[in-house]
Structure 1
Amino acid sequence: MTDEKNSIHGGSQSSDAKSIDIFNEHFHLNEKQKKIFYAICGVFISELNEKEFDTYKNMKTKTNISKHEEKIKEFGQINFESKSDFSTRLLDRLLMTTPQHQLARISSMLKKMTSKGMTSYSMTTSSKLFYELDLKQRTDAVTKWSTSQKNSIKQFYKTISYLTCSAFWLNPYDLYPAIGYPGPDPEINGSRFKGRTFPEYEFIEITEDTKDLEFDVVIIGSGAGGSVAAARLARKSGNSVLIIEKGHHYHQSELTLKEKDGYEKLYELGGGMLSEDSSMTVLSGSNFGGGTTIGWSTSSEPSHFVREEWANNFGLNHFMDDEFNDSLKAIQNRLGVNTNNIVQNESNKILIDGCKKIGAPVVTVPQNSASKPHECGWCGFGCRYGEKQSVVMTYLKDAKDYGVKFIQDCFVEKVLIENNKAVGVEATVNNGEKKFRVNAKKVIVACGGLHSPALLLRSGLKNKNIGKNLFTNPTAAVYGIFPNKDIKNYSGTIQSAVCDAKENVDGEHYGARIFVGSYHPAMMSTAFPWKSPLEHKQFMLQYNHIIPLLTITRDRDPGQIRIDSNGLPKLYYKLSQHDADSVIAGLQTSLKILVAAGATKIGTCQVDVEEFEIAGENPLNDIKFLQYLEKIKKVGVSSGQACLSSIHQMGTCRMGDDPTKSAVNPLGETWEVKNLYVADSSVFPTSAGASPMITTMSIGFYIANCILTEKEFVKRRQSSLFGTSLNGTIIDNTNDEKRASRRKSLLSSFSSKRFSTIN
C-alpha cells in the first residue's frame, strides 16, 4: 500500500501546503485548467446581481432580524475571488474525499474543457473558455449540466457541486449567524453534561522495533459487530483478543461538535464519499467505535418479516430462535434501549402532527440512551456528553475490562492464509511506513459493508458473492418550510419518531419508512439540488424554519462493491425501478404529512422538480398539489435525477447455507478459508430497511458464540462452566453448552460444502 493510498482513505486529514502539491501531482493541472476549476466552483455560492439581491433581501423570515442584517447582506454578496484561501480549502476537501481514480476523471474533464472544441462547446454553448464567460453565462452553463443527457457531464456536475457547497458550509467565513446556526452545541461547556465520562483506553504503539504480535483472536474493526464479538470472546474463553481499527479514538475533550471536525475526523473520506456515478452520497463511520459513534441513537430491532425472510430463504434458522431473541434483549439492556424519557423536538412534533392529520401510523423510535433524556442534536459528530450508549461507552469498555487490546490508526492490508486457514493479518501504520504482522488462530473481519468485502478481495478470496448484494437503504428527502416556527431541525432529541405508512409498497415487505432528518448546514446544502446562486441562498436563509423528512427505503435490488487498483472499495449502485417506486411512495407521503402539518412551501431532492407554494383552505385536495405529486412520480429518482444518500451499507459478504449464493456460512465463517469469520452488517442476506446497529451487534454476539464451540476454545471454557462476572455474579453457562452442541452439528453439516463451486 502506498502512503497516499492510506492517507486519502483515512478518516482525517490535515490542511497544509503539501496537500496542494499532492493535488497538482495527481491532477497534473496547468494554470488554464486550474482557472476553469475555480471558475466552476465559484458559481455555486456566488455574489448576487442587483436584481437578485433585491429579491433576496426582501425575504420575510424570522432569520432577518436586525442584529444579523450585516451578515445576511455579506452572505448575499460573497465573492470567492476575494477569499484567497477558498481555493486551498477546495483542494484540501477534494483530496480528502476523492479517491485517485475519481480525481483522474475530474482531471480529464477539466483537460477537455481547455480546448475550444466540441467538448468545451457542449458544456458552455460558447467558443470561449469557461473562465472567460461572465457570471450569468457560467451560471446558465452549470445549471444545464445538472440535467444533461450525457452521464459524464451530469456526474461531473454532481461531484463539483457537492464539493463546493460542502467545502463552504463546513466553514462559511463567519456567516453562520446569517442563517441562524449556532455552530457547535451552545451547551458544550455547560453544567448539564458533566455526569458521564468516556472510559479511558490505551492503544498498543507500533514502532520500528515492534516485532510480530501474537494473539488468539484478531478482530478488524471496532464497530457494532467487532466490539460485541471481542467482549464476548474475551469474557467467555479467556483467549487473548486484539482489535485493530483504521480510525482514531477521540476523547470527549477532542470532540469539538463542529460540523467540519465531525466529518473530517469521524467519517469515511471526511463524509464526502460518492458512489461511482456520483449519484449517491455515502456516509460511513471511520473511527474507534465505528458507526455507533456517529449514529443518531436509533436502536430498532430487525423486523419480523426480515428475520423470517433470512430464515426461510437463506437457511438461517437461528434468526428465528430464542437464542437470537435472548441476544437482542441482552444488547438492548446493555445499551439501555428504551422509549422512556424521549422528548420530541419541534421537527418530530411536526412529523407526528402531520401523520395524525392524514391518518398515517407514527410511533416513537427506541434510543440507546440508558433510558434517560438525550437531547443532543450534534450526536452525528460524536456524543461529547457520554449520553448515547455507543460501543465506546459499552462493549469496548467491557472488552477492555476483560483484557482485550487495541491498535488505532492501523490499516489491515490483508488476511494471511496458509493451507486454506487464516493465520493472522498483515497491517500498516504511519500512512504505510511501518508494516507488521499479527499471528492469530482466528481472524474476524468486522470492517462494515464497504471494507469487509474489500479486505477479503485484497486477501485473495475468490467467492463470487464477495462484494455483491450491496444494499444501501437508499435515502431521499423532501422539505417543508414553516416561516412562523423556529424549528432548528438539528436541536433536541433527533430521529425520535417514524412513520411506517409505506413500509410494504410491493406486498413483499419492501417499501419505505419516514423519519425527520437532523441536518446541519453542510448536509442541508447538499441534500437538495442546487438550482441557482439566488435559490441556494434563499433556501439556506430559511434554514431554521425548514424540516427535512427522510424516506429510508428497504431496497430489494442490490449494487456492488469492487476494489480499485489500490485495493480500496468502490461503490456501484443504481436504483432499480422496483426500489424507485418505494422511494416515490415515501416522498409523496412525506409531502402530504408536511402539507397537513402546515408547511407553506415544499420541495424535493429531485433535480427537475421546483419548489411548490401551498395555497387554499384544503391544500391536500388542491388540484395543483395533486398535480405536483404526479410530477414527482413522473420525474422519478433514477440515477442523477435526485440527491440520494446511504447511511447504511449491508450484504456484501452475505450469509447463507449455499456457497454458490453466499460468502459466509450460517456460522459466520467464510466458505473458502477456515478460521476466517465476518461479523458485521456485510453478512446481512438482504436489506434491513432500518438502522442495522442492534442487528449487527446481535450477529457479533452470535458469531462469537459459534467460535466458542471450536475445540481450542471449548478446552479453555470447560474449566469455567460456572464462572464469575466482573462484579462477582455467578454465571451459569450450561445453556451455552447445549447451544454449542447444536452448533457443532451445524458445522459438520457445512464442512462438505466448504469447497463447493464458488466461482
Structure 2
Amino acid sequence: MAITSSLAGPVTESHVTGWLTPAEFAILQAICDTLLPSLEPPAGSSGAVAAYYRRCAQDLHVAQQIAEKLGEQSKETQANIRLFLRLFTAAPVSFLLAGSARPFVELPQERRERYLFALANSPIGPFRQGYQGLKRLAGLIYFSTLNEHGNNPNWSVLDYTPPAPPSVEKPAPITPFIITEETTLETDVVVIGSGAGGGVVAGELAMAGKKVIVLEKGGYNHEGNFTQQEAQAMPELFLKRGALASNDLGLIMMAGSTLGGGTVVNWMTSFRTPDEVLSEWDHSSGLKGCFTGSQLQQSFAAVEQRISVNSDHSQHNQQNQRLFDGATTLGYHAGTVRRNAIGCQQRCGACNFGCSYGCSQSTMKTYLQDAYAHDARIIVHASAERILIENGRAVGVKASVKNTQTGETSTVLIRAGAVVVAAGALYTPALLLRSGIENAHIGQHLHLHPTGISVGVYAENVYAWKGVLQSAYSDQFIHLDGNYGYKLEVAPTHPGLFGLATPWYSARNYRDEMRNVAHLASIIVLTRDKGEGSVKVDQSGEPLIEYVPSAYDRKHLLHGLRQGARIHLAAGAERVISLQNKPTDLKRSEDEDTQRKLLQAFDRQVKRNGLGPNRVVLFSAHQMGTCRIGAHPDTSVTDENNQVHGIKGLFICDSSVFPTACGVNPMLSIMAIAHKASQYIKTFV
C-alpha cells in the first residue's frame, strides 16, 4: 500500500499552487495555523506535552497536504474553494465576523479564532460548509499524517500506539489480470464492483461454471500489505480517498474502494434484514413474496455459512462494554453483534483499515477467492465508463484501466452475455445515467442511515481504537414510529478521525479536548431514514450526492443523542459531549435531582444548537435505494430478479436495489439479495 501522507518536502508553488495562487495558499496556511497554532503549554508540562502544544499546523505541512488533497477534486469543487478563500480578503466580511476590517492574514490570533468560530455558526450555509471542509481536513491530517519514521509526533501525548502488523510475510492470494494496451475481452458475465454484491455474484457464477470477469475501481490490497495506518489506508481503501461527502458536506460518508469493497473495511457486523422491514419491502415494491419468501431466507443462510457469521469473536472492548452496561442498567435492550470473523484474537482494532491477520471473512477472502479459483479474471483500477446496449439488451462494458506502475490508462471493451452492476448506491446510478439508460427512478430515493454521535468522557482509559470494533448494540428504539427509529452501536475511532470530528471552539480548547481521546467512548445513533436524497452526475460523469436529513429523521437523531447521553451516564461517564458547532456538553452529578435538571438542560441545548447541515458532525457508512426493486418501471428500476426494466441481461446487485432503508448494517442484506439474484442469473447465461 502506497504511503500518501508525508512531512517531507518544502512548500513550492508548482507542488501546492498548481490550482491555488500564492496569495490563496497563504490564506489557507493562515487558516490552518489559526486552527492549530503554536500554544504556550500548561504549567508543569512534560517535554512531550509541551512539544504537542507548541507544534503548529505548519510544522506538519497541514496546508500543503490539504492543497494536495483538494487538488484531486473536480474543477467545480476547486472553484468553490477559491471563492470561499476570497471571503478572507473582504473587509466587510472581516468586520462582520471578527470586528476588524483588516484581512484575515493580518489579524491577531484571537480575532482569527473569533472569525472562524463565527463562520462555523453562520446562518449562511456555504460559510459553514467551507469552514467544515477545511477544519475537518486540518484535524484529520494533523493527527494522522506520518513522518519519515512512519509515526505521528502527536500520538504519544494521545496515548495512541498503532497496531504492529504481523511479522510473517504473506503472499498475495490473487493475481489480478493485467491490462497494458487497448483490449477486447469476451466472457459470459462481467461484474462491475467486487464488494458485498459483486463479490457474491462473481463467486456464485464462477463456481457454476460461468466465465466471469470482475472489474474493480479500487486497487488490490490484502493481508500481506495492509499497513493498519490511518493516513495510508484512507486514501487507498476508501472512495474519494476517504473524503467522500454529500455535496454540502453535511454528511461525511465512508465507502470502500478496493478489491472486496466495503466488506474489507467494514466492522463485520452481520445483521439480517429485520422481518418487519422485509414485509414492508414486499408491500412497497408490489412484489409479494420477493423478500418474505423462503428463497431469500435460504440465501441468508448460505451467505452466513460461507462468510462464517458467528458471535464467538464478539468480545466487548471497553467501548462496547459501556454501551452494553449502560443500556442494561437503564433496563434497555442490549445485545451482542454477530460478525463474519474467524480466529480473531482482538489484538489490533484496525480492522477498518484491512485485516492483516486474515480473520475478517470479506468477499476478498471468500467469494472472490472462490471466483478466482474457478478461473475468473479480476481486473483492478478499472473504471466502468458505460454499459454497451444493443437492441434492448446489455452486451458488455466499456472501461478504462489504469496501470499504476506506468501511470498509463488503457481502454477495455468487454463483450458479455450479461452485465452485473454492483458499484454501490452512488456509482451504480451514475454508470446507468452515463450509459443513457432512461428511468425516472435512477439515482432517486437515496437513503443513508444518517448517524449522529454521543461521546462519553470517562475517568479511565477506554481506547476506542483497540479490540473488536463493533460487538454491542441496542434495539430499544428501533420502533419509535412503526418500523422507523434507530439502532445504538459504537464506532471505532483513531486519532485522525477524532481530529476530524472533535468540534473546534477555540485553538486551546480543541487541543485540550484532543488530549483526552484515550478516555472517550462513542455511541452512534444509526437512524433508519424515511427522508430521501438523490444521485446525479456532474460534467465529468462523477456522482453528485444531494442529501439533507429530513425534519422527521432529525427528530430521531435528537432523540438518540439524548438517550446516548443517558446511557453514558449510566455506564459511569463523567461528561457527555454532542459534536455540534456550539459547545454542547453535560457533566455528571452524584445528586439525583441535580442530574435530572442537568439532563433536561442538555436536552434543550442539543435541540437549540441544531442538527442542520454542518451544525453537527453526521456520518453515513450505508448508501441504499437509488435503483430500487419493484413490480413496474413507473415506480422502480429493477424487477424481482434484479434485472433492469426493459433491458435484458442487465442486472443490479448491490444496496441500490433496496426499496427503502434497511435499518441495520446492510452488508448481509446486500449479500443475501445478490446471492438470490445470482441463482436466476445462472439460468440466464
Equivalent residues of 1:619, 1:625 under 8 A apart: no
User: In structure 2, the residue corresponding to 1:440 is in which secondary structure?
Assistant: strand
Partner of 2:458: 482
Shift of 1:342: 2.5
Deviations 1:28-48 (A, max 9, x none): x33222211111122222222
Contact 1:20 1:92 in 2 (8 A): no
Find the aligned partners of 1:242 and 1:82 in 2 and give their Cα distance. 47
Q: What is the match of residue 170 of structure 1?
A: 144
1:452 and 1:162 map into 2 onto residues whose CA distance is 28
Task: Indicate if the aligned counterparts of 1:11 and 1:264 stay in contact, CA closer than 8 A.
Answer: no
The answer to whether the Cα contact below 8 Å between 2:32 and 2:62 also exists between their aligned partners in 1 is no
Q: How does 1:290-309 map to 2 (within 5 A)?
A: 290-309=261-280
The residue aligned with 2:86 is 111
- The aligned amino acid for 2:266 is G
1:478 and 1:591 in contact (8 A); partners too: yes
- 1:45 and 2:36 aligned: yes
Gaps of 5+ in 1: 1-9, 59-63, 714-759
1:427: how far off?
0.8
Match of residue 519 from structure 1 = 493
Q: Does 1:226 align with 2:195?
A: no
Which whole-Å deviations, capped at 9, do the CAs of 1:697-717 have from their partners, x for residues lacking one?
Answer: 11111111122232xx3xxxx
User: What is residue 678 of structure 1 aligned with on the other side?
Assistant: 652
Matched, 1:533 2:524: no
The verdict on how the C-alpha distance between 1:527 and 1:113 changes in structure 2, with shifts beyond 3 A counting, is closer
Alignment of 1:28-427 (within 5 A): 29-48=20-39, 50=40, 53-54=41-42, 69-83=46-60, 85-96=61-72, 98-116=73-91, 118-171=92-145, 173-183=152-162, 185-186=163-164, 188-189=165-166, 200-208=173-181, 210-236=182-208, 238-316=209-287, 317-370=289-342, 373-427=345-399
CA shift, 1:13, in A, is: 5.9
Decide whether aligned partners of structure 1 residues 635 and 120 sit closer, same or farther in structure 2, where only a CA change above 3 A counts. Answer: closer
Is the aligned partner of 1:597 residue 2:582? no
Give the structure 2 partner of residue 24 of structure 1. 17
The one-letter amino acid paired with 1:174 is P
Cα distance, 1:443–1:12 mapped onto 2, change above 3 Å: farther
Q: For residue 119 of structure 1, report the CA deviation from its aligned partner.
A: 4.3
Q: Does 1:687 align with 2:680?
A: no
Deviations along 1:497-535, whole A, 9 cap, x unmatched? Answer: 0011111122x2111111111100111222232221112
Residue type of the partner of 1:398? D
- In the alignment, is residue 436 of structure 1 matched against residue 436 of structure 2? no
AA matched with 1:45: L
Q: Secondary structure at the match of 2:323?
A: helix
Higher mean alpha-carbon deviation, 35-44 vs 119-128, is at 119-128
Structure 1 counterpart of 2:149: none
Distance 1:476 1:136 in 2: 31
Question: 1:175 Cα deviation (Å)?
Answer: 1.6
Note the C-alpha offset of 1:370: 3.2
* Change in 2 beyond 3 A, CA 1:11/1:468: farther
Take 1:90 and 1:620, find their aligned partners in 2: how far apart are those partners? 45
Superimposed CA distance per residue, residues 35-94 of structure 1 (whole angstroms, 9 cap, x where no aligned partner): 11111122222222x5xx43xx68xxxxx8xxxx322111112123455x3332222233
SS at 1:668 equivalent: coil
Distance in 2, matches of 1:331 and 1:495, equals: 20
Which residue, out of 680, 699, 715, partners 2:673? 699
> Displacement, 1:620?
8.3
Compared CA separation, residues 532 and 405, structure 1 to 2 (3 A): same
Q: Report deviation, 1:564.
A: 0.9
Contact 1:559–1:573, Cα closer than 8 Å, also in 2: yes
- The equivalent residue for 2:603 is 629
Shift of 1:374: 4.4
Given residue 451 of structure 1, which amino acid in structure 2 is its aligned partner?
A: Y
Q: Secondary structure at the match of 2:365?
A: coil
Q: Does 1:458 align with 2:434?
A: yes
Which of 498, 504, 523 aligns to 1:549? It is 523
CA distance in 2, matches of 1:19, 1:469: 45
In structure 2, C-alpha distance between the alignment counterparts of 1:620 and 1:517, rounded to whole Å:
30
Q: SS at 2:224's partner residue?
A: helix
Q: Which runs of 5+ in 2 are unaligned?
A: 147-151
Give the residue type in structure 1 aligned to 2:63.
S
TM-score by length of 2: 0.94
Do structure 1's residue 467 and structure 2's residue 439 form an aligned pair?
no
Q: Once structures 1 and 2 are overlaid, which stretch shifts more, 250-259 or 524-533?
A: 524-533
Query: Which is greater in Rg?
Result: 1
- Percent identical pairs in the alignment equals 29
Q: 1:669 to 1:177 in 2, by over 3 A?
A: same
Residue 718 of structure 1 is matched in structure 2 by none
Q: Distance in 1 between matches of 2:563 and 2:10?
A: 49
Query: Once the two structures are superposed, what CA deviation does each residue of 1:357-380 show, in whole Å capped at 9, x if it has no partner?
Result: 111110000000137554541001
Separation (CA, whole Å) in 2 of partners of 1:625 and 1:99: 45
- Are 1:572 and 2:546 counterparts? yes
Give the distance between the partners of 2:352 and 2:141, measured in 1 at CA: 18
Evaluate the alpha carbon distance shift between residue 327 and residue 373 of structure 1 in structure 2; reply closer, same or farther with a 3 A threshold.
farther
Aligned amino acid, residue 349 of structure 2:
G
Conserved 8 A contact 1:280-1:646:
yes
Rounded to whole Å, the distance in 2 between the matches of 1:544 and 1:690 is: 28
Task: Find the aligned partners of 2:317 and 2:5 in 1 and give their Cα distance.
Answer: 36
SS of residue matched to 1:624 = helix
SS at match of 1:253: coil
Secondary structure of the 1:562 match is strand
RMSD (CA atoms): 2.3
For residues 474 and 440 of structure 1, the distance between their equivalents in structure 2, rounded to whole angstroms, comes to 38
Asked whether the equivalents of residues 502 and 582 of structure 1 are also in contact (C-alpha less than 8 Å), the reply is: no
Could you tell me how far apart the structure 2 residues matched to 1:515 and 1:264 are? 26
SS of aligned partner of 1:515: strand
Letter in 1 for 2:502: F
Distance 1:334 1:19 in 2: 52
C-alpha separation in 2, matches of 1:81 and 1:239: 56
* 1:185-228 deviation per Cα after TM superposition (whole angstroms, max 9, x unaligned): 14x2368xx9xx676112111112x5311111101001010111
Q: Structure 1 pair 18/137, CA: closer, same or farther in 2 (3 Å)?
A: closer
Secondary structure in 2 matching 1:709? helix
Residues 619, 474 of structure 1: alpha-carbon distance in 2 compared, 3 angstrom cutoff: farther
Q: Which amino acid letter does the alignment assign opposite residue 176 of structure 1?
A: W
Equivalent-residue separation in structure 1 for 2:656 and 2:234 (angstroms)? 23
Q: Residue type matched to 1:447 in 2?
A: A
Residue type of the alignment partner of 1:310: W
